[in-house]
Structure 1
Amino acid sequence: MQEWTGFLAAVRTGGWVMYPLSLLAVLALTIIIDRAYVFMRFAHVPVNVLRSTRLGADGSTPTWAASLSRLAAHNAFNRMSEPWLPEPAAPLWLREASSQSVAAQIERDMSRGLWLLETIVTAAPLLGLLGTIVGMMRSFQLFGGNGLVDPGGVTGGVAQSLVATAIGLVVAVFALFAFNYFSRRLDRLMDELESFANARLNEMRLARGNDGERP
C-alpha cells in the first residue's frame, strides 16, 4: 500500500506532463491487449495444415481444408484458403492474384494499431523531455538576484523533471518491446501464409499435370 501511495505521489510530482503520458500509457496497454487477443485468436494454425500437401481421397476435398474448418471463420489461414478451394473453372493466375489481395488485407487487419504503438515509442520520451525542461525552468526561476530564494521549490522542480523523464522512458520501452514483438509475429504470419499459398499452388499444378497455366 505504501508503494502504491508513493507511486501516486511521484506521478503528482511530475506535473501536467503526466496527463498526456498517462494517456499514452493507457493507449499502449489497450493496443497491446487487443493485438495479443487478435494474434492468439486469428493467427493460430495447426501444424499439419502447413505440412499437408495432399489432396483428399476423393480428389475434391483437400486434407488441409478439413483442418481449417475447425478454426475461427476470420482466422488468417481460413481467409487465405478461399482462393484455393476446389473450383475447376478458376485459372491458376486468378487464384494467385486473389491470394495476394487476401494477404494484403490480412496484413492490414493484423497490423491495425501498430502505427500508434510505434508513435508512442517516439512520443513518450519527447513528452518526458518536455517535462524535464519545464521542471528545470521552474527551478531556475526560483533563483533571485540575492541567491537561492526557495530551496524546497528548486528540489520540487528537479523532482518533477526526473519523474517525467523516467515515466516517459518506461512507457516508451514498454511500447517498444511490444511493437517489436508484434511486428516480428506479423512477419512470421505472412511467411507462413506465403508458404501455405505456395503449397496449394504446387498441389494444383501437380494435379493438373503441368508447370502452371500461361495467360
Structure 2
Amino acid sequence: MDEWTGLVAALRTGGWIMYPLSLLGVLALTIIFERAYVFARFARAPAALLEPDTSDTPDMPAQTADGVERLATQHAFRRMAAAWRPDATTPLWLREASAQAIAARIERDMSRGLWLLETIVTAAPLLGLLGTIVGMMQSFKLFGGDGLVDPAGVTGGVAQALVATAVGLIVAVFALFAFNYFSRRLERLMDELELFANARLNALRARDETSGA
C-alpha cells in the first residue's frame, strides 16, 4: 500500500504534463493488448497449412481444407484460402491476383493501430522533455537577486522535471518494444501466407502440367 501511495505521490509531482503522458500510456497499453489478442486469435497458423501439397486433388487437399475450415472466419489463413477455392476453370493469373489483394487487406488489418504505437514512441519522450523544461523553469523563477529564496520550491521543480522525464521514457520504451514485436510478427505472418499461397499455386501448376502432358 505504501508503494502505491508513493507512486501516486511521485506522479502528482510531475505536474500537468502527467495528464497527456498518462493518456499516451493508456493508449499504448490498449493497443498492445488489442493487437496481442488479434495476433493470437487470427494469425497463428497450424503447421499442416504450411506443408507442401503432394496430393493430386484439383484445389486444396482435404486435410488442408479441413484445417482451414476449423479456423475463425477472420483468420488470416482462412481469408487467404478463399483465393484457391474457385472452380477449376478459374485461370491461375486470376487466383494469383486475388491472393495478392487478400494479402494486402490482411496486412492492412493486422497493422491497424501500429502507426499510433510508433507515434507514442516519439511523442512520449518529447512530452517528458517538455515537463523537464517546465519544471526547471519553475525552479529558476525561485532564485531572487539575493540568492536562493525557496529551497523547497526549487527541489519540487527539479523533482517535477525528473518525474516527467522518467515517465516519458518508460512509456516510450514499452511502446517501442511492443511496436518492434508486432512489426516482426506481421512480417512473419506475411511470409507464412506467401508460403501457403505458393504451395497451393505450385500444386495447381503441377496439376495443369500433368493434365496437359
Please give the TM-score of this superposition, normalised by the length of structure 1.
0.94
Deviations 1:135-184 (A, max 9, x none): 00000000011110000000000000000000000000000000000000
Q: What secondary structure sits across from 1:209 in the alignment?
A: helix
**Counterparts of 1:157 and 1:60 in 2: how far apart (Å)?**
70
The correspondence of residues 156-171 of structure 1 with structure 2, limited to 5 A, is: 156-171=156-171
Asked if residue 70 in structure 1 is aligned to residue 70 in structure 2, the reply is yes
Give the 3 Å change call, closer, same or farther, for CA 60–111 of structure 1 in structure 2: closer
Give the 3 Å change call, closer, same or farther, for CA 176–61 of structure 1 in structure 2: closer
Q: Counterpart in 2 of 1:50? A: 50
Q: Counterpart in 2 of 1:27? A: 27
Shift of 1:86: 4.6
Q: Counterpart in 1 of 2:149? A: 149
Task: Tell me which amino acid in the other structure corresponds to 2:35.
Answer: R
Task: Tell me which amino acid in the other structure corresponds to 1:156.
Answer: G
Shift of 1:89: 1.5
**Counterparts of 1:50 and 1:108 in 2: how far apart (Å)?**
22
Q: Counterpart in 2 of 1:175? A: 175
Are the counterparts in 2 of residues 13 and 160 from structure 1 also a CA contact under 8 Å? yes
Asked if residue 81 in structure 1 is aligned to residue 76 in structure 2, the reply is no
**Counterparts of 1:94 and 1:148 in 2: how far apart (Å)?**
78
Shift of 1:64: 1.2
**Counterparts of 2:182 and 2:109 in 1: how far apart (Å)?**
13
Q: What secondary structure sits across from 2:74 in the alignment?
A: coil
Structure 1 runs of 4+ with >6 Å offset: none
Percentage of identical aligned residues = 70
Deviations 1:60-117 (A, max 9, x none): 5523111111110110000001011151121000000110000000000000000000
Q: Counterpart in 1 of 2:96? A: 96
Task: Tell me which amino acid in the other structure corresponds to 1:111.
Answer: S
Task: In structure 1, list runs of 5 or more residues that go unmatched.
Answer: 211-215
**Counterparts of 1:25 and 1:9 in 2: how far apart (Å)?**
18
Asked if residue 108 in structure 1 is aligned to residue 108 in structure 2, the reply is yes
Q: What secondary structure sits across from 2:112 in the alignment?
A: coil
Give the 3 Å change call, closer, same or farther, for CA 164–193 of structure 1 in structure 2: same
**Counterparts of 1:66 and 1:175 in 2: how far apart (Å)?**
38
Please give the TM-score of this superposition, normalised by the length of structure 2.
0.95
Task: In structure 2, list runs of 5 or more residues that go unmatched.
Answer: none
